[in-house]
Amino acid sequence: MSTISPALAAKVQQARSQLDAHVCETIAWHFHPSTGCPFWLEKVKTLGFDPIKDIKCFADLQKFPEFEDEWLRGGPVSRWIPQGLKGKPVYVFETGGTTGIPKSRVQIEDFRIDYEMFSHTLPDEHFPKGSNWLMLGPSGPRRLRLAVEHLAQYRGGICFCVDLDPRWVIKLIKRGNIKEMEAYRDHVIDQAVTILSAGHDIKCMFTTPKLLEALAMKLMEQGSSIQQSGITGIFSGGTEFTPQWYRFAMEELLDGVYMTPTYGNTLMGLACGKPFDPADNYKITYYAPQPRAVIEVVDFKDYHRLVEYGQTGRVKLTTLTRETFIPGFMERDEGERELPFEKYPWDGISGTRPFHEIAKATTVGVY
Amino acid sequence: MLEIPVLRWGKSYESIEKQEVVHFESGETLARVHQANGGLIQMDMRHCWRARNALREIPIRKLIDMAAKAGDLYLNAKLPLGNGTQTPEEFCTMQSATTGLPEHMCANNMKKNFFVLSHMEQILDALTRGLPLEILTNGYGTESRGIMLSYQANSPVLGMVLPSNSPGVHTLWMPVIPMQIGLVLKPGPQEPWTPYRMAEAFFQAGVPREAISIYPGGPDVGAAVISHCERTMIFGGLPTVERYHGNPRVQVHGPGFSKFIFGDDEVDNWEKYLDLMVDSVLINSGRSCISCSGIWASRHGREIADAIARRIGPVAPLPMKDPTAALAAFTVPGQADAISAEIDEGVKLPGVTEVTEKYRNGPRLVKRERCDYLRPTVLHCTSSEHAISKAEYMFPFVTVVDCPQNKMLASMGQTLVCSAITKDPQLSRALLDAPFIDRLNIGPVKTIALNWLQPHEGNIVDFLFRARAFQNSPPPAH
């Protein structure tokens, strides 16, 4: 921490205090019999401590056992709905699910809140208020489509959507059916090109790196470009969004169109990228939407120990909203721990990529 | 630190992502190789015709001369490499340090490449069956018999997804530039050395820089090369071979399962051929698809296995610089352990015996701090039904299989090189007719002894060009 200014250090301290207070509020909500969800009200009996009494700050969350993936699989999903929110319309979103039972998360308003917060980070000159959006990516059981659509609406626009089913793409890749995978990708891109050419005044877009690349190439083939199609701002994300890809896209695909990286998933919400700075040489650093979610970069062998700044570790995610409490979920990604920053005075992460121990078994970047 | 950039149609491109190439014995970082992303390839392939057009500006005869000059430069000159230079000696040291192949074997592979480059005229003459080479440039022409011929390039460039572990394969792409087809090379992660050195030798010899691209990178880069080049040559294991089987755009080079077979008429003279068999198994540390991995005979199997084991069993790891080192190291962690465990499982079957054990004075698997070795292994199999009887591994490994002559062809399976020791006309005919044998030697020829004037796993001319009809005047009345 010696390399940050006293002013930033003060901000970091303030953010930490806010986080600690938010943790206490969240615990009080999720473990009170009148507001908590059945899962935690049952689990508390086996914890060996009383969260409401014993958790006084973020660091105390380490008292919880490691959160197990399996707890999020299967039904009834109602076990995750807090009593305090009972009766409200519920969405269920899934992650993974190529084989076996997917992990799921119930949500009521979280996806809207997350994307409204994200909206405030978007520069209006590139994402003009009132302009229409193209959501080019996975919908189905994922929250992305609804979230991006809400983002468009929140900013006064209408969202056009083109779907891609990543589970089908993964199956095609695993079968080695590359031809059919390419045909499916072309089918998706053709739809996007059609929508962009149909006079809908679309200026903003969410898509994935692979699809953006395919779309840009298709437009170039037709003598057009992303810029000429009217797009002025793009947000994209995932572990495929590497610094090299970022540079390639900026230098060769986008012809001056603004693009911002994001890192997120159904459990966390959306982490924002540090704004583009040529001095960073396309290094991408993400900051979680604290205090609603916290990213820690922890030692591969000891998930309770943060690695030093600049060192590599596995991503540990904590979700702290009224709808969901997930302490210490070990993500499938790894990266380098980054220093806090003026706009986001808490730890960031750069170089996100699939966790090396499971990377070989994981099919990434399919969409 | 040596920095090796991506090469986009001859122009250096510095990537943000770099991979360190490390000496497997010392742990020293030898170079940082810049990594391409798949999109770069798709972007560059939009201009792939420039490569062929630039090459077509130069007559093929001149390109043949340039190839010879490039061969000489590759073998003897200090050439630029990234932000530094590289002598031939440094090339051998670096290639050995990352692939695990002893330095003298790297030097031998250089000589192979040199030979091919310096005999390009004869090689093209043989592979094109004497075609006037201008036809490849112009697309049509009249051959000496007065017949109009037309050959059309299937692709302006050839993509190559190259392996890490077998520097010998580079001979396959040497004829491509002289045929006025551009090159899109994706080097194996541990073997960037040959593509870069060869490209630089070509450039110095006068080949236009825009004819060659080199994209080091991960699997997405290999996939992009296959996806965006109309013709690609790739190297891989059986799953890769099966994946691309029947795909006319992709020529796959996988395991060879190369064999010696004895006809009943010659098998009693097997001792005369012992040197041939030993060399076929051992040379280049058995790390080649043309290395012999099976010897099939109706009788004397146990004696043949024992005689080979006696010769190669004692061979042990030596330092990479030792000119007598016969074993290559496994530089990928866990690979040697997995192979050795698989062999141990195989020899548990009744009728399978490891014959080398008694001559080895130690275990098959030799573990070192940063690499492993597998010492030569000879198995005797009393039946071709055992799965291990048809195994092939990346070290001197051979099975000697007892099999009646009349069942050999039905049992031997896909075979890249078959050296048949027989004078039996019926067996010879059957071998000539067998579609699962690629290169056939009838007579005392080592499986590893290739004649470069012969096609290898498909004729590269047929892969890159298609013969078609062309007329610029009405045909004779009929």
CATH number of the structural domain spanning residue A88: 3.40.50.12780
Of B433, B384, B392, nearest to B412 by C-alpha is B384
- Across A307-330, average pLDDT: 96
- Across B424-433, average pLDDT: 97
* Cα B177 from Cα B173, distance rounded (Å): 8
Establish if A40 belongs to a structural domain: no
ipTM computed for the complex: 0.84
Comparing alpha-carbon positions, the chain A residue that sits nearest to B247 is A179
How close A288 gets to chain B, by Cα (Å)? Answer: 25
> Which residues of chain A make contact with B17, given a CB cutoff of 8 A?
242-244
Establish if A8 belongs to a structural domain: no
Establish if A76 belongs to a structural domain: yes
Is A355's pLDDT higher than 90?
A: no
* Cα A105 from Cα B464, distance rounded (Å): 53
**Residue B356 amino acid letter:** T
Q: Residue B169 — pLDDT band, cuts 50, 70, 90?
A: confident
Q: What percent of chain A stands above pLDDT 90?
A: 75
Q: Does B348 touch chain A (CB under 8 A)?
A: no
Nearest CB partner across the interface for B16, out of A213, A281, A365: A281
> Which residues of chain A make contact with B43, given a CB cutoff of 8 A?
217, 248, 252-253
**Residue B405 amino acid letter:** Q
Angle at A158 between CA A155 and CA A161, to 5 degrees: 120
Of B226, B237, B231, nearest to B173 by C-alpha is B231
Establish if A206 belongs to a structural domain: yes
What does the pLDDT read at residue A239? 76
Q: Does B246 touch chain A (CB under 8 A)?
A: no
Establish if A4 belongs to a structural domain: no
- φ/ψ of B260, rounded to 5, equals -105, 135
- Across B334-342, average pLDDT: 95
Task: Provide the edge-to-edge strand list for the sheet that holds B140-142.
Answer: B140-142, B148-153, B465-468
Q: Residue A1 — pLDDT band, cuts 50, 70, 90?
A: very low
Asked whether the beta carbons of residue A220 and residue B46 sit closer than 8 angstroms, the reply is: yes
Residue B293 is inside which H or E element, if any? strand B292-297
Of B223, B252, B230, nearest to B240 by C-alpha is B252
> Which residues of chain B make contact with A217, given a CB cutoff of 8 A?
39, 42-43
Establish if A346 belongs to a structural domain: yes
Secondary structure of A158-192 as H, E, C letters: CEEEEECCHHHHHHHHHHCCHHHHHHHHHHHHHHH
Asked whether the beta carbons of residue B16 and residue A252 sit closer than 8 angstroms, the reply is: no
Residues of A engaging B, defined by a Cβ cutoff of 8 Å: 176, 178, 182, 213, 217, 220, 242-245, 247-249, 252-253, 281-282, 365
Q: In the numeric block, which tokens belong to residue A130? A: 């009132």
Q: In the numeric block, which tokens belong to residue A173? A: 């890749």
Angle at B196 between CA B192 and CA B201, to 5 degrees: 150
Asked whether the beta carbons of residue A365 and residue B220 sit closer than 8 angstroms, the reply is: yes
Mutation for testing the B interface, residue in A218, A248, A364 having most B CBs under 10 Å: A248
* Cα B313 from Cα B303, distance rounded (Å): 14
- Across A76-80, average pLDDT: 95
pLDDT tens digits for B363-398? 999 999 889 999 999 999 999 998 899 999 999 999
Asked whether the beta carbons of residue A253 and residue B39 sit closer than 8 angstroms, the reply is: yes
What does the pLDDT read at residue B278? 98
Name the more confident of A322 and B387: A322
Comparing alpha-carbon positions, the chain B residue that sits nearest to A281 is B16
Asked whether the beta carbons of residue A249 and residue B220 sit closer than 8 angstroms, the reply is: no
pLDDT tens digits for B190-220? 899 999 999 999 999 999 999 999 999 998 9
Secondary structure of B360-379 as H, E, C letters: HCCCCEEECCCCEEECCEEE
B407 three-state secondary structure: helix
Q: Does B248 touch chain A (CB under 8 A)?
A: no
- Across A254-276, average pLDDT: 86
What does the pLDDT read at residue A306? 97
Q: Which of B56-65, B230-239, B337-346, B402-411 has the lowest mean pLDDT?
A: B230-239
What does the pLDDT read at residue A364? 42
Establish if A367 belongs to a structural domain: no
| Helix axes of A209-221 and A178-196: crossing angle, nearest 10 degrees | 70
What does the pLDDT read at residue B16? 94
Q: Name the average pLDDT for chain B.
A: 94
DSSP code of residue B28: -
Domain that holds residue A257: 69-359
* Cα A67 from Cα A296, distance rounded (Å): 14
Asked whether the beta carbons of residue B16 and residue A243 sit closer than 8 angstroms, the reply is: yes
Comparing alpha-carbon positions, the chain A residue that sits nearest to B242 is A176
pLDDT tens digits for B434-463? 999 999 999 999 999 988 888 888 889 999
Cis peptide before B192 (omega within 30 of 0): no
Q: Does B39 touch chain A (CB under 8 A)?
A: yes
* Alpha carbon distance, N-terminus to C-terminus of chain B: 72
Nearest CB partner across the interface for A248, out of B37, B239, B243: B37
Q: Residue A362 — pLDDT band, cuts 50, 70, 90?
A: very low
What does the pLDDT read at residue A357? 78
B188 three-state secondary structure: strand
* Cα B147 from Cα B287, distance rounded (Å): 44
Q: Count of A–B CB contacts within 8 Å?
A: 40
Comparing alpha-carbon positions, the chain A residue that sits nearest to B46 is A221
Asked whether the beta carbons of residue A244 and residue B15 sit closer than 8 angstroms, the reply is: yes
Cis peptide before A291 (omega within 30 of 0): yes
Asked whether the beta carbons of residue B39 and residue A247 sit closer than 8 angstroms, the reply is: no
* Domain count within chain A: 1
Q: Which of A28-32, A113-117, B472-476 has the lowest mean pLDDT?
A: B472-476
How close A336 gets to chain B, by Cα (Å)? Answer: 15
> Which residues of chain A make contact with B40, given a CB cutoff of 8 A?
248, 252
What does the pLDDT read at residue B452? 83
Residue B401, beta-bridge partner list: B296, B381
Residue A73, beta-bridge partner list: A103
Of A133, A112, A137, nearest to A234 by C-alpha is A133
B248 class by beta-carbon count within 10 Å (0-12 exposed, 13-18 middle, 19+ buried): exposed
Determine contact, residues B253/B235, Cβ cutoff 8 Å: yes
Asked whether the beta carbons of residue B37 and residue A253 sit closer than 8 angstroms, the reply is: no
Secondary structure of chain A as H, E, C letters: CCCCCHHHHHHHHHHHHHHHHHHHHHHHHHCCCCCCCHHHHHHHHHHCCCHHHHCCCHHHHHHCCCECHHHHECCCHHHHCCHHHCCCCCEEEEECCCCCCCEEEEECCHHHHHHHHHHCCCCCCCCCCCCEEEEEECCCCCCHHHHHHHHHHHCCCCEEEEECCHHHHHHHHHHCCHHHHHHHHHHHHHHHHHHHCCCCCEEEEEECHHHHHHHHHHHHHCCCCCCCCCCCEEEEECCCCCHHHHHHHHHHHCCCCEEEEEEEECCCEEEEECCCCHHHCCCCEEECCCCCEEEEEECCCCCCCECCCCCEEEEEEEEECCCCEEEEEEEEEEEEEECCCCCCCCCEEEEEEECHHHHCCCCCCCC
Whether the CA torsion B45, B50, B54, B57 is positive or negative: it is positive
> Which residues of chain A make contact with B16, given a CB cutoff of 8 A?
242-244, 247, 281-282
Comparing alpha-carbon positions, the chain A residue that sits nearest to B244 is A176
Q: Does B232 touch chain A (CB under 8 A)?
A: no
Q: Does B249 touch chain A (CB under 8 A)?
A: no
DSSP code of residue B443: S
Determine contact, residues B421/B442, Cβ cutoff 8 Å: no
A64 contacts: CB under 8 Å, gap ≥ 6 = A47, A51, A327, A328
Asked whether the beta carbons of residue B37 and residue A245 sit closer than 8 angstroms, the reply is: yes
How close B157 gets to chain A, by Cα (Å)? Answer: 19
A106 contacts: CB under 8 Å, gap ≥ 6 = A77, A78, A80, A81, A90, A91, A92, A93, A323, A324
Q: Residue A367 — pLDDT band, cuts 50, 70, 90?
A: very low
What does the pLDDT read at residue B331? 87
Angle at B37 between CA A358 and CA A164, to 5 degrees: 65
Nearest CB partner across the interface for B243, out of A176, A217, A245: A176
How close B138 gets to chain A, by Cα (Å)? Answer: 28
Determine contact, residues A131/A201, Cβ cutoff 8 Å: yes
* Cα A107 from Cα A115, distance rounded (Å): 13
pLDDT tens digits for A128-185? 999 999 999 988 888 889 999 999 999 999 999 999 998 899 889 888 888 899 999 9
B238 three-state secondary structure: helix
DSSP code of residue B191: B
What does the pLDDT read at residue A363? 45
* Cα A161 from Cα A205, distance rounded (Å): 10
Asked whether the beta carbons of residue B35 and residue A244 sit closer than 8 angstroms, the reply is: yes
Domains annotated for chain B, with CATH where assigned, are 3-254 (3.40.605.10), 258-442 (3.40.309.10)
* Cα B435 from Cα B415, distance rounded (Å): 9
How close A249 gets to chain B, by Cα (Å)? Answer: 9
Establish if A281 belongs to a structural domain: yes
Asked whether the beta carbons of residue B37 and residue A252 sit closer than 8 angstroms, the reply is: no
| Helix axes of B60-76 and B103-118: crossing angle, nearest 10 degrees | 160
Asked whether the beta carbons of residue B223 and residue A245 sit closer than 8 angstroms, the reply is: no
* Cα B183 from Cα A325, distance rounded (Å): 55
pLDDT tens digits for B220-268? 999 999 999 999 999 988 888 888 888 899 999 889 999 999 999 999 9
Residue B53 is inside which H or E element, if any? helix B48-56
